[in-house]
A and B are shown apart, each in its own frame.
Chain A
Amino acid sequence: MPGEMNNSPSGGKSDYNNATLRPITIKQALDATQPYPEAGYQIDSAEAASVCFIGQVRNISSQSTNVTYKIDDGTGEIEVKQWIDSSSGAGDSMETDEHTNNKPSGPKSQPEVDGYAKVFGKLKSFGNKRFVGAHCVRAVKDINEVHVHLLEAAAVHLFFTKGPVGGSQGQGAGAGGAAGDASMGGVDDYGAGGGGRALPAMSPVARRVYNLLRTEPQSNEGLHAQLIAAKLSLPMPDVARAGDELLTAGVIFSTVDEQTWAILEY
């Protein structure tokens, strides 16, 4: 169920589970929903704790406590507030991303009006107005970065709405191939994904075993490890290891004996 991760009003727990930085478009930021007031924002039914986007700076207004940027990426326009860190005195030029290694913080990475800028931050709202509380705003000098970001946002959107690459039905090798994407995506374990739920990060073999358990007709006793090994033509030790992995992750449970597993559904 979407939103089941957000049952605790504090939201603190889910922050730990999903501390991913999600690439989005400004339209997605404006369309993000809150399951209930004060809850974390959700995009495509998955929590978007931290987001990043690229757009053109339309306006910069410097106040004593913050700098407000108006960012437009062609899909919408949103206000970005960056609080000035008075203790360091260099709050605006704080560099927290990959650019630190080839571009030291300084005027070069400062956003300019009409230039492109990349914003890292969290979605916030004040009254009815949505804005982004930024950790970092830096200028983007390479137009390719803008395009790649838009494609990345599209890929992540498809991941959350259509499931991992390789198809949500993921049979055998196909599901194995999707393993990397699913774990990289940082999906909050069971909340997202169209058909079937996304697994936490685990080995391709474990994924294949899980998918077999999901698709194979079986009684409520589940399947025996030897049967799984035969069906997937895998050696027994590999299947046993995959079983351990799935048991530890809590997505399957052993039924009549330790070698017979069924999917844990709730």
Chain B
Amino acid sequence: MSLQTPRVLPAHLHAFHPSSSTTSKHTVRILGTVSALRGDTATLTCGGSGDVTIILKPDSHLQMGKLVEVIGKVTDLNEGGVGIRLLGVTDLGDPADCDYKIYEQVVNATHKLKAIFYDSNE
């Protein structure tokens, strides 16, 4: 089976954490606006659904204020809490062009209808 990267919101991260026994996959996809850059980490603001900390790769280029889709592994942060270790990022331009509410509905639908989106053993 090829690699699946479920779309999530910040509130779902704990369910994909490696320590969560029911989860076999820890790679997720999340959409958000880059709201802070601090050297090796960045903060992604996910509409009205909260923030998430992204651990960057040395060669990843994030730009402030851009809408990005991040694919990464859910992991513990040094300062506590759960974040995402970046594996890949797609720049999607201006956050104003995206209706984040649609994305929230997509996340809800994809987790309700696992049959067509994701294997159910996750």
Q: What is A's interface to B at a CB cutoff of 8 Å?
A: 24-25, 27-28, 30, 56, 72, 74-77, 114-116, 142-144, 147-148, 150-151, 153-154, 157-158
- When the two chains form the complex, which single residue of A77, A115, A151 contacts B102, counting CB atoms closer than 8 Å? A151
Interface string of B5-35 (1 = CB under 8 A from A): 1110000000000000000000001010000
**A-chain residues with CB within 8 Å of residue B2 when the two chains form the complex:** 30, 72, 76-77
Establish whether residues A75 and B116, one from each chain, have CB atoms under 8 Å apart when the complex forms. Answer: yes
Q: What is B's interface to A at a CB cutoff of 8 Å?
A: 1-7, 29, 31, 67, 69, 88, 90, 92, 97-99, 102-103, 105-106, 109-110, 113, 115-119
**A-chain residues with CB within 8 Å of residue B69 when the two chains form the complex:** 143
- When the two chains form the complex, which single residue of B90, B103, B106 contacts A56, counting CB atoms closer than 8 Å? B90
Establish whether residues B118 and A27, one from each chain, have CB atoms under 8 Å apart when the complex forms. Answer: yes
Closest residue of chain B to A24, judged by CB? B116
Closest residue of chain A to B2, judged by CB? A77
**B-chain residues with CB within 8 Å of residue A116 when the two chains form the complex:** 90
- When the two chains form the complex, which single residue of A27, A74, A144, A154 contacts B109, counting CB atoms closer than 8 Å? A154
**A-chain residues with CB within 8 Å of residue B105 when the two chains form the complex:** 147, 151
- When the two chains form the complex, which single residue of B1, B7, B29, B99 contacts A144, counting CB atoms closer than 8 Å? B99
CB distance from A90 to the nearest CB of B (A): 28
**A-chain residues with CB within 8 Å of residue B1 when the two chains form the complex:** 76
CB distance from B23 to the nearest CB of A (A): 16
Closest residue of chain B to A157, judged by CB? B116
**B-chain residues with CB within 8 Å of residue A25 when the two chains form the complex:** 116-117
CA distance A153 to B115 in the complex (A): 12
**B-chain residues with CB within 8 Å of residue A74 when the two chains form the complex:** 4-7, 29, 117
CB distance from B99 to the nearest CB of A (A): 6
Establish whether residues A143 and B98, one from each chain, have CB atoms under 8 Å apart when the complex forms. Answer: yes
**A-chain residues with CB within 8 Å of residue B119 when the two chains form the complex:** 27
CA distance A158 to B112 in the complex (A): 11
Establish whether residues A158 and B113, one from each chain, have CB atoms under 8 Å apart when the complex forms. Answer: yes
Closest residue of chain A to B31, judged by CB? A143
The interface centre, meaning the residue of B4, B29, B90, B116 with most chain A CB atoms within 10 A of its CB, is B116
